[in-house]
Amino acid sequence: MKKKASVLIIDDDPDVLYTAKAILRKHYERIETLENPERISRTLEKDHFEVILLDMNYKTGATTGNEGLFWLRKIMEIDPNAHVIMNTAYGDIPLAVECMKIGAIDFLVKPWEQEKLISTVNAVYELQKSKKEVSRLKETEKILSQDLNSDYGVMIGNAESMKPILATIDKVAKTDASVLILGENGTGKELIARAIHNESKRASKPFIKVDLGAISTTLFESELFGHQKGAFTDAKEDKAGRFEVANNGTLFLDEIGNLDLGLQVKLLTVLQNRMVQRVGSTQTTPIDIRLISATNSPIDELSENGEFRQDLLYRINTVVINLPPLRERLEDIQPMLDHFLRKFSTKYEKLNLKISDKAIEKLKQYHWPGNVRELQNAVERAVIMSDGSTLEASDFLISSNKPKSVQAGSLKVDDIEKNAIIKALEETNGKLNEAAIKLGIGRTTLYRKIRKYKINT
């Protein structure tokens, strides 16, 4: 079976080019040849090769290898990660050492035997593939180590409104269908995504989360698709993007509704072709991921208004899960209180704490605009500040009055979201970074919503 790789052979002898191509095309999908080295720059700028076989001498009678050294330097300038085999009729150890210093991987002396050519090219190809895999594994380790330090909690869903959601998770987890999770901030969309992954056939592979609301437009391609060393000023080394890191696993794109149209096109292209191309590279890499997306935005409305591409929406919403807000699943407040109380009592070494009945009643009557995340923060703060063995209603710093929009019988998401942002800004004295963390959204997203709701800061 041929290897999915491209090999470039550069030599001024047509017979050498013909012979090498005839031998190697049985083993590699694509073999390109160049008789004129002046075409090297143009060829490498528009295409990528896993292995390059470069002759050392081009002028009639030349034996010094200086031309080969010149073109080797040129290749390494264009692509510092190029894997080059030097090819010459004159074996010279000092010359070979000089080639290695510049960046060549191996050295062949003509005339070579067929087996020697194949084995040398194969060895360099495998080295190139291993280096790329090491790059991907390093990035995977980095992301997963960060993920281990994140507290994403446990899923609690005893309410009637959660039963169909749990049934959907059970069905969809066994497939590779794309899932779109809709719900307000703090409802637990990431927990649902992780539950689907953990019950899937990909459970032993990476679960990679990308907060699209926290990635700037300029870094989008680098973060998702990766980059080559030298692709831009800060690209000090090769970096695998999140798609590559999530290969064979699950990629969770949170806040996908925040993507601008230009980035939506780039994302759609990758999802359609199932191939990624690192920034600064001409090579494409196949990817096999299970896609789960989430948003708190009215994505159908955005699609109708032309703010979210319909063709991308169709790619991500094979199965849609609508998570209800906490105010619509009051049965879950008690078990959540029990869970968070155990968690934070242990964390802050305040064992045997309990919550009074009056406090529980107050918490059940509250509208929870920040949903489960707000409930968790309220319990943690109460545990930290407690002096006695019982948490009273006064220990939970939440408003006893419902917002006007709720009192009037309106439960519009925009009204609730606006109130949550105002409350977070008040509690953090207008510090946007802290408010964004409290709300569980990216700073860029918070800026956009502040402008949307015309909130004074």
Q: In this prediction, what percent of the chain has a pLDDT beyond 70?
A: 92
pLDDT at 243: 94
Residue 115 has pLDDT above 60, yes or no: yes
* Dist CA 170 CA 188 (whole Å): 17
pLDDT at 251: 96
* 252 close to 294: Cβ distance less than 8 angstroms: yes
* Dist CA 411 CA 405 (whole Å): 7
The token pair at 208 is 């990679």
Mean pLDDT value of segment 297-317: 92
Residue 229 has pLDDT above 90, yes or no: no
Q: How confident is the model at residue 405 (pLDDT cuts 50, 70, 90)?
A: very low
Q: Which of 307, 259, 314 is nearest to 291 (CA)?
A: 314
Q: How confident is the model at residue 135 (pLDDT cuts 50, 70, 90)?
A: confident
pLDDT at 406: 40
Q: In this prediction, what percent of the chain has a pLDDT beyond 90?
A: 52
Q: Which of 205, 183, 371 is nearest to 288 (CA)?
A: 205
* 360 close to 392: Cβ distance less than 8 angstroms: no
Q: Which domains does the chain have, with CATH numbers?
A: 3-128 (3.40.50.2300), 150-322 (3.40.50.300), 327-400 (1.10.8.60), 401-457 (1.10.10.60)
Rounded mean pLDDT of the chain?
86
Q: How confident is the model at residue 441 (pLDDT cuts 50, 70, 90)?
A: confident
SS3 for 118? helix
The token pair at 430 is 């207008």
Q: How many CB atoms lie within 10 A of CB 40?
A: 19
Kindly state the DSSP code that residue 237 receives in the 8-state scheme. S
Mean pLDDT value of segment 171-182: 96
Q: Which of 338, 409, 342, 403 is nearest to 368 (CA)?
A: 403
Phi, psi of 336 (to 5 degrees): -70, -40
Torsion sign over Cα 221, 222, 227, 231: positive
Q: How confident is the model at residue 63 (pLDDT cuts 50, 70, 90)?
A: low
Q: Which of 363, 387, 386, 359 is nearest to 374 (CA)?
A: 363
Q: How many CB atoms lie within 10 A of CB 268?
A: 17
Residue 62 has pLDDT above 70, yes or no: no
Mean pLDDT value of segment 193-208: 93
Angstrom CA distances, 104 to 53, 366, 369, stand at 10, 68, 61
Residues 84, 86, 92, 94: what is their CA dihedral angle, to the nearest 10 degrees?
-20
Q: How confident is the model at residue 391 (pLDDT cuts 50, 70, 90)?
A: very high
Mean pLDDT value of segment 210-228: 88
pLDDT at 265: 94
The three-point CA angle 246-436-332 to 5° equals 80
